[in-house]
Amino acid sequence: MAGKRFDGKVVIITGAGGGIGREYALYFGSEGAKVVVNDLGGDRAGGGKGSDMADKVVAEIKAAGGDAVSNYDSVATREGASGIMWSAINKYGKIDIIINNAGILRDRTLVNMTDGDWNLIMDVHLRGTYLVCQAAARIFKAQETGGRIINTTSLAGLLGNFGQTNYGSAKAGIFGFTRVASIELAKMGVTVNAIAPVALTRLTEDIAMLKGAKKEEIGPQFIVPAVAFLASEAGAGITGQVLGVQSGRIFVYKMAVSEGVTKEPSKGLWTIDEIKDKWDEISANPQAAY
Enumerate the active-site residues: 167
Terminal C-alpha separation, the chain: 41
Query: What is the maximum span of the chain, computed from C-alpha positions, in angstroms?
Result: 74
Q: Give the C-alpha distances (Å, rounded to integers) separating 281 from 70, 260, 261.
A: 56, 6, 7
**Residue 223 one-letter amino acid:** I
Strands (E), the chain: 10-13, 34-38, 67-71, 97-99, 147-152, 190-198, 242-246, 249-253, 256-257, 287-288
CB 105 within 8 A of CB 44: yes
